[in-house]
Amino acid sequence: MSDGSISQNEIDALLSGMSGGSVGAPAGGAFTPARQEALQKFFDGNVPALAANLDSMTGKTVSVSNPVIELSNREALLQKVPDMAVAVTIDFEGALTGDHLFVLAPEFAEKLVSLVNNEESVKIDDMALSVISETVAQYVGKEISAFDGQNIKGVTNMPAEAHHVPKAMVRLSQDFALLTYSVTIDDAVFDLWEIIAKKTAEQIADKLSKTESAPQAAPVQPIPAQSAPDQGGGMGAMNMPMNGMNGMPQMGQQPMGMGMQMQGGVQAQGGMVMPGMNPNVQSVQFSPLLNGVTEAEQGNIGLIMDVFMEMTVELGRTRKMIKEILSMGEGHIIELDKLAGEPVDILVNHKPIAKGEVVVIDENFGVRVTEILSPAERISDT
C-alpha cells in the first residue's frame, strides 16, 4: 500500500504532461550547419579557459573535453541528470539576454568543494553552494571576455545562484542548447552541462557568423621611399669621374681634409670612408628602466620588516549622480566597472602592488595573487 509519497519518475511524468510532451521525447530539430559550426568553434576555444579556471580553484590538473553541442529539451535532459542535482543559474544580460545555467551531479560538486576548501569530506550546504557559484561565475566572466574578443560587446550576466534540488525543480525552458563537457579530476570523470536558451544560442551563432564573414581591411601599401636630397651640395658629384674631384676645392668647397667630419659618423656612399674623414662615433646610452636597490637600502628596509601595513582589495569602482545615491535603499544593486572574473587590484597603503582573483576560504573571502610587481618596483618612489 502506498504511503502517500510520490516518486521522482512520477514527478517527471507529471511535469512532462503539463508541458505537452512525454518523457524521453527526442529533442526537437537541430541547429543549422552554419550555427552548429559557429557555436562549436567558439565553445571549443573556451575549453582551455574552463580548464584553467578549475585548475586555479582546485589546485589540481583538470582535463576538460570539447563540448558536445546539441539542440535539446527538458525531457531529454532529465533522463541524463541524476535525481538530485546542483543547478547554477547565471543568466545573460545586456547585448544578449536569456536563460543560462550550469548543472552538475552532487558528486561532482562535492569533489570541487573538497578540493577548493582542502577538506576530505564535505556536504552540499550553503557554503558549498557559494563555492560552486564562485567557480561558475569566474568561468562565465572569461566566457563574456571571449564574446568581447569576437566583437560581441556589451554582454553581462546576473549574479550566480546555486541550488541543490531534485532534477524536476531545475529551471529549464522547453528547448535549449545543451553543451556537455567531460571533466576529469584525479582520474574521476564527471559530466558538466551548460544550458543556453535556444533563442540566445541562435543569436550567439548568428553574431559569430557575422563577425567571421565581415570583410577584412585591405592591406596598406607601403609608400616608396624617396631618395634623400644631396647633402652639402657635393654628394651628387660622386658619380663624376675621379679626376673631376681634383677641381672640387676650386668650386668654392673646402678641401677634403677640412670640415668633412660628418655628424653621427656618416660615411661616403658605397660604405667606404673617404680619406681625411674622421667619423664622430658616440655610443648610445639608455636611461635605466628601474631604479636599482643598493645593499645599503636593502639593509634599511630590513629595519622595518615588522611594521604593519594596510592592505586592501579594490573590487571595482563606479560613478553615480547625487540623486541616484540619495535614492538608494536596501536591496539596491550597484554595478561596478569590472566584469565578472576580471582580476581585482591589491593595494598597500592605497598603492597598487598586485592583481588577483577572489576566492572563498571557509566563511571568508580571500584573494589569490595572479600578478605582482617586482620588489624593486614595489619599493620605488616612482
Residues of the chain with CATH 3.40.1550.10: 10-212
Other Cβ atoms closer than 10 A to 118? 10
CA distance 211 to 347: 39
CATH superfamily of 10-212: CheC-like (3.40.1550.10)
- What is the residue-wise DSSP string for 210-273? HHHHSPPPPPPPPPPPPPPPPSTTTGGGGGS-GGGGGGGGGGTPPPTTSS---TT-PPPGGG-P
Which residues on neighbouring strands pair with residue 165, listed in sequence order? Answer: 85
pLDDT at 319: 85
Q: 305-326+340-379: which CATH architecture?
A: Roll (2.30)
CB-side exposure of 367: number of CA atoms within 13 Å? Answer: 18
Element spanning 371, H or E: strand 364-372
pLDDT at 15: 55
Query: Grid coordinates standing for 23?
Result: 518523457
Task: Determine the residue type at 270.
Answer: G
Residues of the chain with CATH 2.30.330.10: 305-326+340-379
List, for the chain, all residue ranges whose pLDDT scores fall below the cut of 70: 1-29, 212-303, 374-382
Query: Grid coordinates standing for 111?
Result: 569533489
Q: Please state, in angstroms and as integers, the Cα–Cα distance from residue 309 to each residue in 88, 305, 356, following that order.
A: 38, 10, 18
pLDDT at 223: 56
76-126 per-position pLDDT tens digit = 999 999 999 999 999 999 999 999 999 999 999 999 999 999 888 889 999
pLDDT at 281: 64
Q: Which residue has the cell 547625487?
A: 322
Element spanning 378, H or E: helix 375-379
CA distance 194 to 203: 16
298-354 per-position pLDDT tens digit = 556 666 777 777 888 888 888 888 877 887 888 778 888 777 778 888 888 778 888
pLDDT at 288: 52
CA 211 to chain centre: 19
